[in-house]
Amino acid sequence: MTRFISSLLSVSFCVAAALSGAPALAQHEAHETKPAAAAPHEKRVGDPYPLAVCPVSGKRLGAMGDAVVKVYHGREVRFCCDKCPAKFEADMKAGMASLDEKIAKDQAPLYPLHTSVVSGKALPEKPVQFVYANRLFLLADDSERAAFEHHAKDYFAALDKAVIETQGRAYPIKTCPVSGDEFGGEMGEPVDLVVAGRLVRLCCKGCKKDVNKDPAKFIEMVDAARKGAPADPQAGGHGDHDHK
């Protein structure tokens, strides 16, 4: 009997200890899984950040060291320093609206279509314009927004195709802006990438990562060449390029 009571007390003590530790464990787990305010590992959708300047300070990216890259609901934004994201996030709606305005102003002159990418209708004198995943889109009317959001990936691809067809006819650069290699050589047919409404023609898929790392640099190179300035592929001939 004494042995039975001793065993019962031992079990009761173990159960009590487990229960007393449960809240602490639950709190610890909750703390570890609490989502961050600006999901640092969120995957980018669409284009990388297309502007050369910080949306908060207006300073050129890279002037204060490596740009700080954030992704908000799939959309990439780059800042000049680690102090600017908090200022941007303090009024995200206003920050995104201001960013949209800058992107629309930059990309509108190069927009390749005179019809809606959704319905095929002719664009009116004042089309509906909005920025999705750092890319400007023009629609015939507000009712097309819902259809766009349901099939955004398809319409993004359709706009890419229109950019390539339009700008590819008189593409001004004869060499890859990343590697410096001439098109049509041992690498075969070039690879077309669209960033910020611009066609950036590359020697191979492996060069895409270089453009995504510093898109503003290559956007400026293409813009300069289109305006008649000679292309200057500063990264040409880098030995670590694997052409994959």
Beta bridge partners of 63: 65
Rounded to the nearest angstrom, the gap between the alpha carbon of residue 228 and the centroid of all alpha carbons in its chain is 29
pLDDT-derived band at 230, boundaries 50, 70, 90: low
Give the tokens for residue 82.
């680690």
pLDDT, mean of residues 228-232 = 63
pLDDT band at 184 (very low <50, low <70, confident <90, very high): confident
Burial of 207 (0-12, 13-18, 19+ CB in 10 A): buried
CATH entry, 36-91, from 2.130.10, 1.10.3470, 2.30.170, 3.30.43: 2.30.170
Separation between Cα atoms, residue 158 and residue 176, nearest integer Å: 24
pLDDT digits (tens, 9 = 90+) for 109-127: 999 999 999 999 999 999 9
pLDDT tens-digit profile of 1-44? 444 344 434 434 343 443 334 333 332 233 332 333 445 558 99
Q: What is the pTM of this model?
A: 0.77
Q: What residue spans in the chain does CATH classification 2.30.170 cover?
A: 36-91
* Alpha carbon 134 to its chain's center: 7
